[in-house]
Structure 1
Amino acid sequence: MIEIGFGPQVCGDAAAGAGREWLVTDGLGGYAMGTVAGLRTRRYHGLLVVAGDSPASRRVGLVALDPVLTLPSDARVRLGAHEWASGVVDPAGFELLERFDLVDGLPRWRWRIGETVLERELAMAYGRPAVAVVHRLVAGPPVRLDLAAVCTWRDAHGERRAGGPDPSLEPAADGAVVERAYRLAGPDWHAAGRWWHGVRHRAEADRGLPAEEDLWHAGNFAGTLRRPGDTVGVLAWAGDLDTPPPPAVEVVTAARRRHRAVVAAARPADDVGATLALAADAFVVRTPAGPDVVAGYPWFGAWSRDTMTAYEGLFLTTGRADEGRELLRAYAGTVSEGMLANTADTGRVEYNTVDASLWFLHAVTRHVEATGDADLAAELLPALRAIVDGHLAGTRFGIRVDVDGLLASGAPGTALTWMDARVHGRPVTRRAGKPVEVNALWINGLAGVAGLADRVGGDAGAARAAHGRAVGSFRRRFPAPTGWLYDVVDAPAPAYPRGAAGQDDDSLRPNQLLAWSLPYAPLPADGAAPHAVGAPHAVAALRAVGAALLTPLGLRSLAPDAPEFVGRHRGAPEQRDGAYHQGTVWPWLLGPYADACRRSNVPFDEAFSGIDHHLREFGLGSVSETADGLAPHGATGCPFQAWSVAEVLRARQGG
């Protein structure tokens, strides 16, 4: 894996050190997360964040373990870091950090106080909600170490204030049980029990969200580190409170061993590929219903669009086809009226996308083609046919196949494609009608279903006939006089300010990449298929896309010369949603871009260079959800995003 580490000029700077985040996961949807500086900047940051019945229903438990060293001189040195409502940062232990490293995906800090060097490592016990924190004396004379356990118990999306009941604290062996929800254990525990008022989260303030909370100082652990190599370990865990995890040092060792095995199973092509393979592991989780995918940390749960878009990279590229098979079978069971369930993050199962079902057709096809699993093809073929039949007959939200064989969708107030942001209930990016990537996915899916039916001796007639109609219509309707493809055709009036009769949108967007990138894409790579006079050839269109949309971190969602372009994805929720698909950069689009270029012999070797360096800049070892459309393209959104990692990994490994 690539080396990820920083010295004192990054670690010791509140802005630089707090702008780089680390993540360790438990395989269940829970996590530990924070910053290089140790300063909590998000309400989501904590050492024990526990997933509930679904990955989206997380609760924050242990927030911090603040170290205090007592030196032989009796001087006390506080190594924690908190920002307060006043804007004051106190203590500022990051100023004493000598270095931070991500070692086998696990964070490691080193503080230096003269001749004394203290190291901290952290890991989670895979398969249970448990975290281990180990402090080790690296150099110097004997010192006493006190660790203040700073706690809460609340929804990860909210805050807790001191106005309500104090958190309950019940004695337990070597520690205490907090709120009857999680347990703390370590050496020489002494209960405290008092509120720390007005802790501030600067990243939430920047996002226009509530930025303060109160935290509960539950108590302290303590130990003496007499010689280099001595350790003090603390455990925190939820679930089965009566069964402790292994000792903290063993948890760290086991996590490091498992991470190395995950990388080896992926057979990465290089160190960057190895880093991405380990990053991908964070998103594959085990729920009561089986394997699933967390769309992004720290605030997303499972979304079928993201899961199926990321499927190849997360499961097939990384050697996890057996888990993938189980996941595909489970998702097939959610098909209703020809649609795949999208998410339950909102508290109920929702069927509200036009593309998730089509990505599912793609994922199943790719799985069978990669593994030769004819049994799975035969088992899932009825669900795949139900999707095809549902779209041919028409289903929710106006999703239906038109007389020309193309797939149309749209209903008032809905945003059904992946460009789904809404402000005040209205879609920001108007894409009702026949979106280009939706129809590329529809054509790709029909060909895939027909191929699977042929493989298992099923009836491929309906899918093949629908495919033929759709391909012909796609090649006639989507080429635009501009030299690229329309983003949407046949939009309902009133529709777009530009385009033929106001019904076709010729905005330069990256969605058209799927017309060339998919395995059964509707347009050939060389653009030689018969279509309208003046229609674009692949090379010309890809060069136009690359010139206007390609950035170091991915592709813009809209060309900068468009009147609707928004170059900064910042500010309060309304501002961010307004920019989400109006110029904001999306790293996941590098996958389709690389595929389309590869098939058209358009050079793209340097397209991943910026991402390779990005692995050290924001969500460490991972790829962010989004970035600003304008230079310097600062990363935004979730620091750790599944489809960003998956598509970059897949495309770098050769597609």
Structure 2
Amino acid sequence: MIDVSFGPQVCTELTSGATREWLVTDGLGGYAMGTVSGLRTRRYHGLLVVAGDTPASRKVGLVSLDPAVTLPSGARVRLGAHEWASGDVDPRGFELLERFTLVDGVPRWRWRIGDVVIEREVAMLPGRSCVAVVHRLVSGGPVRLDLSAACTWRDAHGERRADGPIPRVEQVAGGALVEGAYRLAGPGWTPDGQWWLDVHHREEAARGLHPREDLWCAGRFSDTLHRPGDTVSVLAWKHDANPEPPPATEVVALARRRNRQVVATAKPADDVQATLALAADAFVVRTAESPVDVVAGYPWFGTWSRDTMISYEGLFLCTNRADLGRELLRSYAATLSQGMLANTADTGRVEYNTVDGTLWFLHAVSRHVTVTGDTDLGDELLPALHAVIDAHRAGTRYGIGVDPADGLLTQGAPETALTWMDARVYGVPVTPRTGKPVEVNALWINGLAGVAELTELAGRDASGLWRAHRQATDSFRRRYPAPGGWLHDVLDAPAPAYPLGGSAHHDDDSLRPNQLLAWSLPYAPLEPDEATLRRVAGALLTPLGPRSLAPDAPEFVGRHRGGPAERDGGYHQGTVWPWLFGPFVDACRRAKVPVDEAFVGLDAHLTEYGLGSVSETADGLPPHGATGCPFQAWSVAELLRAHRAGR
């Protein structure tokens, strides 16, 4: 594991300590999350965030446990940190931090108050909505430690205010039951019951969202730390029929032991791979509906089929969890309808609204069989895979279908954005990419070949699939090269002067990274050449991965910042996407272009934003500040896959 450790110059300075975030997860889609400084900067931050029936339906429960230390002199020192609507930050416990570190994935803070040193660790119990917070006296003492429990119970995407109902808190043995939803347990519980008004979340303000909420101080836990080694611990867990969890110190030990096992199972070649293997584990979850699924990103995403299938090889095959991956592929195959994979979106309903998610599914199944030799799964899913091919050749939803003239896949319908570049502003797609997108057809050609190979492995005739593959490949090679020396992004797109469905079309030669898949996939339609790759890299590559649009394009947006409309408008118009680093590396390696030095920026990024993980996006302009989710599945998965493929 790489060293993730910060001293006082980071911990005590908010522009550094409050922009680096930690995450621990429960394996169910719930989590605990916050910053190195201890300041909550997002509405999503909390010590107990519980997943509902799906990971997208999370609720925030225990928000914080604010420590206050009473020294032998009688002085009382508060170690918590909150920002208020007034602009004040009070208390400022981060100013007493001398170190923050991740130890086997478990965050640890160390405060120094003169000769008194106190450490805190936070861990979640694997497989249960339960968090343990352990405080340990390292030196000095005796001291009294009070822990004020700031609580709520609300949707993770919202906030709760004092003008609504007061949270219901019942005193129970060893602590309290909040809203009938979660338990708090620890020593010396004393009920309180008052609102902390106008807590401010600076990251939500920066994203143009409502930044304030009110918290309910339900009470406090108290105990004395007499000598070094003594602990004061608190547990918080979802109230259900399960027995009480083990002691908090045991939860921390269990979490650390499991994290070590996750890394050992992955058999990493170096510390970066070990760190990424543990990061990958956070996204693999069990839900009420499935024994295994993938969270697309923390803290606000749920499960998305496209993200899951792009991430599949990195999350499952590169971490030696093909057994879990097998079950995931089977469960997703059961969602196929009219040849399309369900996009289990955060809306809470099943939708069939992607053109590429299903094609990534074909790729995932093919890679699973190729890497593991699991031909039994290939045989089992083969009828479903053939049904996908047949539906696409015949035509399915949203105008998705094969053009018989060239064998390429076309797509598009009014007000839809079906590719991974699917952002909308006020309901209008920013990049609809109607027509024949380059990566969609690279995936289509790759999928035809993959299914053909699986068909032959099953002892069946695949000649029809190979004919379709040859026709599409020949058309791709003839039609996609653009005059500028790269590939068209979309063929047969509606001309700008015509509405969707008009009679005139054009070929969009915007320089985008989607073309990387035409060289990177196992059955890619093109062999990469060094000159073209260097031309693409020169325009798009940044230390954190490729930009989504070349900077000289009129539509280029260099900063992925502002309110929802501004951010969505720039989402795919120049914003950097680290997941595309994987296809870039694959293409370079196939072209025999040296690429090892390109890893430096992303490897360093593991300590810059979401600690030990990789962000969703970054600004297209220097210094390429990270944006979006701090912890993103396909970013981690593709960086891990690229690392392992080079070994």
TM value normalised by structure 1? 0.97
Structure 2 Cα separation of the partners of residues 358 and 385 of structure 1:
12
User: Contact conserved, 2:487 with 2:509, CA < 8 A, in 1?
Assistant: yes
The CA deviation at 1:468 is 1.4
Structure 1 residue 495: deviation in Å? 6.8
SS in 2 for 1:336: coil
Shift, 1:430, TM fit: 3.7
Query: What per-residue deviation string (whole Å, max 9, x for no partner) do you get for residues 285-335 of structure 1?
Result: 011322000000000000000000000000000000000000000000000
The equivalences for 1:307-456 within 5 A come to 307-403=308-404, 404-456=406-458
Whole-angstrom distance in 2 between the partners of 1:297 and 1:463: 39
Alignment of 1:79 with 2:79, yes or no, is yes
Mapped partners of 1:13, 1:603: distance in 2: 39
Confirm whether residue 166 of structure 1 aligns to residue 166 of structure 2: yes
**CA deviation string 1:50-84 (max 9, x = no partner):** 00000100000000000000000110000000001
Asked if the contact 1:495/1:502 (under 8 Å) is kept, the reply is no
Counterparts of 2:489 and 2:51, CA distance in 1: 39
1:517 aligned onto 2:508: no
Could you list the per-position Cα deviations for residues 404-453 of structure 1 after superposition, in whole angstroms to 9, with x for gaps in the alignment? 10000011111110011111222112411000000000000000000001
Please tell me whether the aligned partners of residues 157 and 300 of structure 2 are also in contact (alpha carbons under 8 angstroms): yes
Offset of 1:242 from its aligned partner? 5.9
Q: Which amino acid aligns with 2:512?
A: R
CA contact (8 A) 2:64 2:149 kept: yes
* Rounded Cα–Cα distance in structure 1 between residues aligned with 2:505 and 2:546: 26
8 A Cα contact 2:180 2:239, kept in partner: no
Alignment of 1:238-637 (within 5 A): 238-240=238-240, 243-288=243-288, 289-403=290-404, 404-494=406-496, 503-525=506-528, 538-637=529-628
Q: Partners in 2 of 1:244 and 1:49 — Cα distance?
A: 18
Q: CA deviation at 1:541?
A: 1.4
1:463 deviates by 2.1
Shift of 1:97: 0.5
Please tell me whether the aligned partners of residues 60 and 152 of structure 1 are also in contact (alpha carbons under 8 angstroms): yes
Partner of 1:531: none
Report SS of the residue matched to 1:310: helix
1: distance between equivalents of 2:342 and 2:506?
Answer: 30
Q: Work out the CA distance in 2 between the residues paired with 1:124 and 1:496.
A: 55
Larger displacement relative to structure 2 (341-350 or 77-86): 341-350
Give the aligned residue type for 2:363: H
Question: What per-residue deviation string (whole Å, max 9, x for no partner) do you get for residues 587-609 of structure 1?
Answer: 00110000000011011111110
The answer for the alignment partner of 1:533 in structure 2 is: none
**Given that residues 181 and 238 in structure 1 are in contact (C-alpha distance below 8 angstroms), is that contact kept between their aligned partners in structure 2?**
yes
Q: Which residue of structure 2 lines up, in the alignment, with residue 156 of structure 1?
A: 156
Distance 1:577 1:496, change over 3 A: farther
Give the 3 Å change call, closer, same or farther, for CA 603–118 of structure 1 in structure 2: same
What letter is aligned with 1:425? G
CA distance in 1, matches of 2:77, 2:557: 47
Give the letter aligned to residue 520 of structure 2: S
- Give distance in 1, aligned partners of 2:49 and 2:323: 28
- Which range moved further: 82-91 or 460-469? 460-469
> Counterpart of 1:42 in structure 2: which amino acid?
R
| TM-aligned CA deviation for residue 38 of structure 1 | 0.2
Q: CA deviation at 1:493?
A: 2.9
8 Å contact from structure 1 (residues 496, 505) kept in 2: no
Question: Residues 235-286 of structure 1: CA distance to partner in whole angstroms, max 9, x if unpaired?
Answer: 0000426621110000001100100100011111110110000000000001
Instruction: Measure, in 1, the Cα distance between the counterparts of 2:287 and 2:534.
Output: 43
SS, match of residue 154 in structure 1: strand
Instruction: Please state how far the C-alpha of 1:585 moved relative to its aligned partner.
Output: 0.3
Contact 1:410 1:432 in 2 (8 A): yes
Distance 2:537 2:595 in 1: 9
> Take 1:570 and 1:432, find their aligned partners in 2: how far apart are those partners?
27
Counterpart amino acid of residue 261 in structure 2: A
**Structure 1 residue aligned with 2:38:** 38
SS at match of 2:32: strand
Cα RMSD between the aligned structures?
1.2
Look up the equivalent residue of 1:319 and give its one-letter code. N
Cα distance in 1, alignment partners of residues 230 and 464 from structure 2: 70
> Is the 1:516–1:522 contact (alpha carbons within 8 Å) kept by the matching residues of 2?
yes
SS of the aligned residue for 1:593 comes to helix
User: 2:494–2:505: 8 Å Cα contact kept in structure 1?
Assistant: no
Residue type matched to 1:544 in 2?
Answer: R
Residue in 1 that maps onto 2:209: 209
**Aligned-partner SS, 1:503:** strand
> Do 1:568 and 1:630's aligned partners in 2 also have CA atoms closer than 8 Å?
yes
2:635 to 632, 644, 648: 644
**Aligned residues of 2:56 and 2:348 also touching (Cα < 8 A):** no
SS of 1:62's equivalent?
strand
Gaps of at least 5 residues in structure 1 are 526-537
Contact 2:2-2:271 at 8 Å conserved across structures:
yes
5+ residue gaps, structure 2: none
SS of match in other structure, 1:299? coil
Tell me the equivalent position of 1:528.
none
Letter in 2 for 1:652: H
- DSSP-derived class of the 1:319 partner: coil
Matched residue pairs, number?
640
User: Residue 529 of structure 1 corresponds to which residue in structure 2?
Assistant: none
Aligned CA distance change for structure 1 residues 495 and 653 (closer, same or farther; 3 Å): farther
Q: What CA distance in whole angstroms lies between the structure 2 residues aligned with 1:345 and 1:52?
A: 12
Corresponding letter in the other structure for 1:154: R
Alpha-carbon contact 1:495-1:503 (below 8 Å) kept = no
CA distance in 2, matches of 1:104, 1:519: 35
2:294 partner amino acid: V
Shift of 1:197: 0.7
Shift, 1:216, TM fit? 0.5
SS at match of 2:441: helix
8 Å Cα contact 1:184-1:237 kept in structure 2: yes
Letter in 2 for 1:431: R
Equivalent positions of 1:101-180 (< 5 A) are 101-180=101-180
1:535 alignment partner in structure 2 = none
CA distance in 1 between counterparts of 2:385 and 2:92 reads 56
